[in-house]
């Protein structure tokens, strides 16, 4: 492996270069040695969306899109979704190993005891307009938390990092639920330490006048599984933002606000909302062939289908389909699920989808489950953000501790005008 190289001939100069290959990659900085016109003319690689550029080395998440594989720290996501809890997965992502029983108890206990928010954050949420999008409130308030915890700036202190990680995982659901209740004018429901992470979130969302909120075990487990499935997905858009902001040594609350802002975009965290709108637009199983015809003609895209990485079934979609059955058995069958199942059947047998290797992705069924549990569509990206928080934090910490990482600062290919001057200014008169 150590002897692997790439030989490149620069046809501009006729010179040959040998570039080392490490772990299946060449270092883009090695291309700088390939010059045509002296120092400063080194070759750049151009990759605007990082389509084929590794921005880091990471030991957290492995994806093989051809073979439908998603693993966290080596464990298949299917096994984790079946046998573990979201907080165990969060521990695994951050620490690299699953917790033993003592570590697990301490971890759950610590997160449970950090769920409260400073009362001033509550006042801050009160100041948002009544129809403020909960994702906008989440982005604003998680960033504001950095001003409540100035110790979070001490990013190279292990104990400080540990504390901020606990605070962030614990407080995201409280911020999210308070944002949702603000929209409907309900009084905020405080965390209940007797409940699980997911159960407490349901409590903060829907507790009304009852003394004790009792979550449905099926809905509680379904939400926990959905959080597991969203916990990390290697270098996606928002994780890349988390690492980039972290690389400037900003505190983790500010970096999480930036990552959540990236997730807010409809191309990233908003697709499941689009699936729900699409299923409602189709309206009935009988209208599916006509809709698929429009997709085939290029008029529309089938939302919840296709993925940049998965060119086979998204492994998360398989698990979610099963969770949807469990949830709808409790909440009542949704006509949207019937449309989704038939749409999937028709699409998977259709030439267009086979040729383009389009399969259902994680968003195809998650919106149906969220809607069945009772979440308004505006909350869908917020739920995604809660699930993704441990992944963002694991990636942030890994980047900080990686000696090869520096402040993120891409190069550019300049395409603007060459030097020119304001009227009346002679070039030679300018002293440099």
Residue 303 lies near ligand ACO (rule: CB under 6 A)? yes
Q: Report the nearest approach of ligand ACO to the CB of residue 344 (Å).
A: 12
Mutual angle of helices 86-95 and 217-229, in 10-degree steps: 20
Task: Provide the minimum distance between the beta carbon of 361 and ligand ACO in the complex, in angstroms, as a whole number.
Answer: 4
Q: Does 305 bind ligand ACO (CB under 6 A)?
A: yes
Q: Nearest approach, Cβ of 49 to ligand ACO (angstroms)?
A: 9
Contact 344, 359 (CB under 8 A): no
Task: Show the binding pattern over residues 209-248: x = contacts ligand ACO (CB under 6 A), - = does not.
Answer: ----------------------------------------
308 binds ligand ACO (CB under 6 A): yes
Instruction: Give yes or no for residue 358 binding ligand ACO (CB under 6 A).
Output: yes
Q: What is the DSSP string of 13-78?
A: T--EEEEE-BTTB--GGGGGG--SSSTT-------TT-TT------SSEEEETTTTEEEETTEEHH
Pick 105 or 308: Cβ nearer ligand ACO: 308
Is 310 in contact with 418 (CB distance < 8 Å)?
A: no
Please identify which residue in 90, 117, 271, 319 interacts with ligand ACO, judged by CB under 6 A.
Answer: 271
Q: Is 356 in the site for ligand ACO (CB under 6 A)?
A: yes
For ligand ACO, the closer of residues 112 and 361 by Cβ is 361
Across the beta sheet with 61-64, the strand order is: 61-64, 69-72, 75-76
For the chain, give the longest Cα–Cα distance: 81
Helices (H), 362-417: 363-373, 380-401
Nearest distance from C-beta of residue 308 to ligand ACO, angstroms: 4
Q: Which stretch binds ligand ACO (CB under 6 A): 17-25, 71-79, 156-164, 303-311?
A: 303-311
Cβ–Cβ < 8 Å for 324, 368: yes
- Please enumerate in sequence order all residues whose Cβ is within 8 A of that of 44, keeping only pairs 6 or more positions apart, or say none: 28, 31, 411, 413
Span interacting with ligand ACO, options 81-89, 93-101, 143-151, 353-361, rule CB under 6 A: 353-361
Region at 80 (left for phi over 0; alpha for psi -120 to 50; beta for the rest): alpha
Chain residue at closest Cβ approach to ligand ACO? 306
Beta-strand pair 16-20/75-76: unpaired
* Catalytic residue (choose from 182, 233, 307, 314): 307
Residue 373 binds to ligand ACO (criterion: CB under 6 A): no
How far is the C-alpha of 219 from the C-alpha of 231, rounded, in Å? Answer: 18
Would you say 134 or 304 has its CB closer to ligand ACO? 304
By beta-carbon proximity to ligand ACO, the closer residue of 209 and 297 is 297
Q: Give strand pairing partners of 360.
A: 305
Closest CB 173 distance from ligand ACO, rounded Å: 20
Considering only residues 391 through 410, tell me which ones interact with ligand ACO, judged by CB under 6 A. none
356 counts as catalytic? no
Catalytic residue check, 363: yes
**Total binding residues for ligand ACO by CB under 6 A?**
16
Contact with ligand ACO (CB under 6 A) among 57, 129, 287, 301: 301
Collapse the DSSP code of 160 into the 3-class scheme (helix H, G, I; strand E, B; otherwise coil) and give the result: helix
Residue from the set 42, 136, 265, 306 that interacts with ligand ACO by CB under 6 A: 306
One of 143, 173, 304, 387 touching ligand ACO (CB under 6 A) = 304
**Is residue 275 a contact partner of residue 304, using CB atoms and an 8 Å limit?**
yes
Q: Is 113 noted as a catalytic residue in this protein? A: no
Nearest CA-CA partner of 111 in 169, 178, 27: 169
Q: Is 307 in the site for ligand ACO (CB under 6 A)?
A: yes
Q: Minimal CA–CA distance to 334: which of 378, 288, 279?
A: 279
d(CA 390, CA 255): 13
8 vs 309, which CB is nearer to ligand ACO? 309
**Within 10 Å of residue 431's Cβ, how many Cβ atoms?**
4
Catalytic residues: 268, 307, 363
Q: Which residues bind ligand ACO (CB under 6 A)?
A: 268, 271, 295, 301-308, 356, 358, 361-363
């Amino acid at each position: 492996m150590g002897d692997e190289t790439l030989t490149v001939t620069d046809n501009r100069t006729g010179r040959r270069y040998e570039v080392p290959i490490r772990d299946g990659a060449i270092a883009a900085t090695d291309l700088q040695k390939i010059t045509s016109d002296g120092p400063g003319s080194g070759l750049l690689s151009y990759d605007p969306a990082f389509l084929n550029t590794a921005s880091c080395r990471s030991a957290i998440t492995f994806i093989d899109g051809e073979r439908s594989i998603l693993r966290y720290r080596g464990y298949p996501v299917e096994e984790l979704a079946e046998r573990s809890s979201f907080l165990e997965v969060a521990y695994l992502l951050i620490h690299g190993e699953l917790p033993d029983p003592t570590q697990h108890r301490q971890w759950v206990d610590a997160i449970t005891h950090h769920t409260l928010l400073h009362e001033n954050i509550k006042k801050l949420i009160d100041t948002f307009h009544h129809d403020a999008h909960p994702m906008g409130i989440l982005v604003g308030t998680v960033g504001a938390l950095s001003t409540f915890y100035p110790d979070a700036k001490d990013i190279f202190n292990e104990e400080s990092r540990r504390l901020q990680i606990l605070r962030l995982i614990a407080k995201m659901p409280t911020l999210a639920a308070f944002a949702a209740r603000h929209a409907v004018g309900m009084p905020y429901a405080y965390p209940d330490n007797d409940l699980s992470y997911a159960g407490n979130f349901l409590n903060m969302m829907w507790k009304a006048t009852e003394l004790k909120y009792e979550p449905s075990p099926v809905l509680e487990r379904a939400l926990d599984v959905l959080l597991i499935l969203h916990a990390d997905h290697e270098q996606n858009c928002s994780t890349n933002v988390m690492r980039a902001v972290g690389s400037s040594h900003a505190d983790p609350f500010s970096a999480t606000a930036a990552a959540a802002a990236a997730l807010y975009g409809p191309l990233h965290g908003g697709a499941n909302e689009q699936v729900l709108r699409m299923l409602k637009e189709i309206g009935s199983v009988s209208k599916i062939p006509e809709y698929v015809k429009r997709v085939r003609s290029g008029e529309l895209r089938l939302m919840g289908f296709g993925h940049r990485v998965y060119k086979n079934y998204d492994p998360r979609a398989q698990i979610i389909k099963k969770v949807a059955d469990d949830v709808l058995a409790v909440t009542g069958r949704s006509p949207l699920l019937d449309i989704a199942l038939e749409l999937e059947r028709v699409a998977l047998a259709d030439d267009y989808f086979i040729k383009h290797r389009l399969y259902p992705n994680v968003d195809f069924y998650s919106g149906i489950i969220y809607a069945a549990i009772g979440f308004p569509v505006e909350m869908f990206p917020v739920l995604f953000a809660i699930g993704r928080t441990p992944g963002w934090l694991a990636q942030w910490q890994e980047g900080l501790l990686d000696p090869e990482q520096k402040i993120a600062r891409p190069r550019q290919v300049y395409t603007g005008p060459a030097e020119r001057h304001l009227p009346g200014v002679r070039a030679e008169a300018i002293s440099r």
